[in-house]
C-alpha cells in the first residue's frame, strides 16, 4: 500500500507506517536538519528509508497531481506549537497551524485513510470549538473555506453540511482518540491525540487498538512478583521501596493477581543494555555521547530509571532539563544521550540522528514513537485490506447474480 508523509520531522511516523506495510511515495518536511537526518539514513542504505522521496519544503507548495488516486494513506503530525501546553496556544491564529493544509492535501489525494497526530493540548477546553472544526474539516475536505471566511464561519458551514452531504462529496468517517504511548509498549509517558479517518465508501468500522501494557502490570512485576528486578539483576538492597502513592494499589494487586496486560516499559528496560556514555562517544553505538551539565532544580528532576520516561520535549528555547534527564535511584542525574532518547522514542539503533545534541533532541522531542505509529498504521492497513476484500466479494456476488438472471 502507498502512503504520503506530511510534516515528517525525523521520520518516526513514516518509519512506523513503513513497518506496518505502507511505502511512502513522498516524505515532506520543511526543517533542513530533520531532512538531513532522513536523507543521511537513506544514503547509508538503511533499508526502511532506502526508497523515500524526501521533499524539503512547505506541504502547501508541493505538486500532488502526479499522485492523484494512487495513495492509500496520508499521515502526518502538523506542528504542535499552536496547541502545546508550553506554547502560546494561539491555535488558528498561529501561522504554524497546518491542519487546513493537511485537509487540503487529503482533498487532492483522496486517500483511503489518514492518520493525523498531535499533542494532548489540542483537547483542552479552550480549544473545544477548534478541535471540532479540525475534525469536521478533515471529515469534509471538499468543503473548503471561502476567501476571507473566518474559521468560525467555516465551522458553522461544516456543521450544516455534516448532515446533508452531496452524493459525490468526498467524506471521511473520523475518530479522535487521546492515548498514552506507555500503554502500547513505548518506554515513555507521552500523551498524544490521534485523528484517524477512513473514506466513507470503504466498509471499515475502526476503533483505536486496545492497550497492551499497563502501570498496574508494572507495579505487579516490581512489588508483587519481583520479576522486574530479577530480570534486570537488581539486588534487593538497591530496589528501594514501594512509592507511597502506589502502596494501596500494590495491596489491591496482591489480592487481584497478575494483570492481563504486559508491564509498562521503563527507562531501564529501554537503555539498560547500553554502556555508560562517555565524552566523545564510542564506535559501537551511534549518537551515544555524554552531554555534561545536567542538574536538578525545582520542576526539573529528571525521569526515574524504573518508570517510563517523562515525555521528551523539543523546547521553544533550547531543551528543558527535567524531561530529558535520567534520574538514578540514588538521586543523581545526567542528560539522556541522543541514542538513549531515540530508544525512548523506539527508533531503531541503526537510525542516526543528524546534528548536535540540542538539535537532535529537538527532532526526537517532536517525533512520533515508531512503535506506536506502527501499531496505529498496522491497524489502519488491516482495516483497509478487510474493506477491500469485502468490496471485492460483494462485486463478485453481484456479478454472479447478474449471470444467473441473464
pLDDT in tens, 151-205: 889 999 999 877 776 778 899 999 999 999 999 999 999 999 999 999 999 998 9
pLDDT above 70 coverage of the chain, percent:
93
Q: Which of 24-28, 54-58, 88-92 has the lowest mean pLDDT?
A: 88-92
Using pLDDT thresholds of 50, 70 and 90, give the confidence band for residue 304.
very high
pLDDT above 60: residue 256: yes
Q: Are residues 193 and 236 in the same domain?
A: no
Q: Is 268 within a domain?
A: no
Q: Which candidate in 80, 143, 155, 325 is catalytic?
A: 80
The pLDDT score that the predictor gives to residue 406 is 64
Q: Are residues 87 and 129 in the same domain?
A: yes
Q: Look at residues 191, 225, 260 and tell me which one is the last residue of a structural domain.
A: 260
Number of separate domains in the chain: 2
Using pLDDT thresholds of 50, 70 and 90, give the confidence band for residue 80.
low
Structural domain harbouring 245? 213-260
Selection from 292, 286, 291 nearest residue 274 by Cα: 286
Q: Are residues 42 and 111 in the same domain?
A: yes
Residue 381's φ and ψ, nearest 5 degrees, are -60, -40
Q: Is 111 within a domain?
A: yes
Q: Is 275 within a domain?
A: no
Place of cell 498504521: 377
Selection from 315, 401, 310, 327 nearest residue 358 by Cα: 315
Neighbouring CB atoms inside 10 A of 352's CB total 18
Using pLDDT thresholds of 50, 70 and 90, give the confidence band for residue 89.
very low
Using pLDDT thresholds of 50, 70 and 90, give the confidence band for residue 87.
very low
The pLDDT score that the predictor gives to residue 405 is 73
Active site residue 35: no
Q: Which of 82-96, 143-157, 350-364 has the lowest mean pLDDT?
A: 82-96
Using pLDDT thresholds of 50, 70 and 90, give the confidence band for residue 126.
confident
Mean pLDDT of the chain, nearest integer: 90
Q: Are residues 253 and 144 in the same domain?
A: no
Q: Are residues 204 and 224 in the same domain?
A: no
Cα distance between residue 269 and residue 313, in whole Å: 20
Q: Are 195 and 138 in contact (CB under 8 A)?
A: yes
Q: Is 267 within a domain?
A: no
Q: Are residues 190 and 92 in the same domain?
A: yes
Neighbouring CB atoms inside 10 A of 129's CB total 14
Q: Are residues 135 and 239 in the same domain?
A: no
Q: Are residues 107 and 225 in the same domain?
A: no
Within 8 A by CB and 6+ apart from 66, the residues are none
Q: Are residues 68 and 35 in the same domain?
A: yes
What mean pLDDT do residues 136-146 have? 93
Cα distance between residue 359 and residue 319, in whole Å: 9
Q: Are residues 222 and 155 in the same domain?
A: no
pLDDT above 90 coverage of the chain, percent:
70
Within 8 A by CB and 6+ apart from 2, the residues are 22, 23, 24, 25, 70, 71, 72, 73
Q: DSSP label at 241?
A: -
Q: Are residues 186 and 143 in the same domain?
A: yes
Q: Look at residues 260, 276, 297 and tell me which one is the last residue of a structural domain.
A: 260
At 307, is the secondary structure helix, strand, or coil? coil
The pLDDT score that the predictor gives to residue 95 is 52
Q: Is 85 within a domain?
A: yes
Q: Are 325 and 204 in contact (CB under 8 A)?
A: no
- Exposed, middle or buried: residue 300 (CB in 10 Å: 0-12, 13-18, 19+)? middle
The pLDDT score that the predictor gives to residue 370 is 97
Using pLDDT thresholds of 50, 70 and 90, give the confidence band for residue 323.
confident
Q: Are residues 115 and 239 in the same domain?
A: no
Q: Which of 122-126, 135-139, 203-207 has the highest mean pLDDT?
A: 135-139
Amino acid at each position: 500500500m502507498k502512503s504520503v508523509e506530511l510534516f515528517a520531522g525525523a521520520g518516526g511516523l513514516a518509519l512506523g507506517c513503513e513497518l506496518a506495510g505502507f511505502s511512502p511515495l513522498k516524505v515532506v518536511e520543511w526543517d533542513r536538519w530533520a531532512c538531513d537526518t532522513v536523507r543521511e539514513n537513506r544514503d547509508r542504505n538503511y533499508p526502511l528509508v532506502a526508497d523515500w522521496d524526501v521533499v524539503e519544503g512547505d506541504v502547501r507548495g508541493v505538486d500532488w497531481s502526479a499522485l492523484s488516486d494512487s495513495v492509500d494513506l496520508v499521515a502526518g503530525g502538523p506542528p504542535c506549537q499552536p496547541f502545546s501546553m508550553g506554547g502560546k496556544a494561539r491555535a488558528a491564529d498561529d501561522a504554524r497551524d497546518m491542519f487546513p493544509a493537511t485537509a487540503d492535501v487529503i482533498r487532492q489525494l483522496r486517500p483511503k485513510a489518514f492518520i493525523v497526530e498531535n499533542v494532548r493540548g489540542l483537547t483542552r477546553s479552550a480549544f473545544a470549538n477548534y478541535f471540532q472544526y479540525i475534525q469536521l474539516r478533515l471529515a469534509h475536505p471538499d468543503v473548503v473555506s471561502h476567501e476571507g471566511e473566518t474559521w468560525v464561519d467555516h465551522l458553522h458551514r461544516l456543521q450544516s453540511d455534516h448532515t446533508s452531504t452531496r452524493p459525490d462529496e468526498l467524506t471521511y468517517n473520523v475518530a479522535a482518540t487521546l492515548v498514552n504511548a506507555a500503554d502500547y509498549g513505548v518506554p515513555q509517558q507521552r500523551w498524544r491525540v490521534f485523528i484517524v479517518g477512513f473514506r466513507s465508501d470503504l466498509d471499515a468500522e475502526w476503533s483505536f487498538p486496545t492497550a497492551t501494557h499497563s502501570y498496574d502490570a508494572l507495579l505487579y512485576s516490581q512489588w508483587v512478583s519481583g520479576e522486574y528486578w530479577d530480570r534486570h539483576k537488581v539486588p534487593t538492597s538497591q530496589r528501594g521501596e514501594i512509592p507511597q502513592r502506589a502502596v494501596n494499589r500494590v495491596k489491591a494487586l496482591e489480592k487481584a493477581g497478575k494483570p492481563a496486560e504486559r508491564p509498562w516499559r521503563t527507562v531501564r528496560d529501554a537503555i539498560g543494555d547500553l554502556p555508560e556514555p562517555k565524552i566523545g562517544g564510542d564506535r559501537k553505538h551511534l549518537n551515544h555521547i555524554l552531554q555534561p551539565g545536567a542538574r536538578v532544580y525545582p520542576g526539573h528532576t529528571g525521569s526515574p530509571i524504573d518508570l517510563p520516561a517523562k515525555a521528551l520535549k523539543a523546547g521553544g528555547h533550547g531543551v528543558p532539563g527535567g524531561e530529558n534527564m535520567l534520574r538514578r535511584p540514588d538521586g543523581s542525574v545526567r542528560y539522556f544521550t541522543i541514542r538513549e532518547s531515540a530508544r525512548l522514542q523506539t527508533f531503531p539503533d541503526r537510525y542516526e540522528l543528524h546534528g548536535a545534541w540540542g538539535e537532535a533532541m529537538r527532532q526526537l522531542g517532536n517525533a512520533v514513537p515508531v512503535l506506536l505509529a506502527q501499531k496505529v498504521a498496522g491497524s489502519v492497513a488491516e482495516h483497509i485490506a478487510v474493506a477491500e476484500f469485502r468490496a471485492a466479494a460483494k462485486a463478485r456476488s453481484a456479478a454472479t447474480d447478474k449471470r444467473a438472471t441473464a
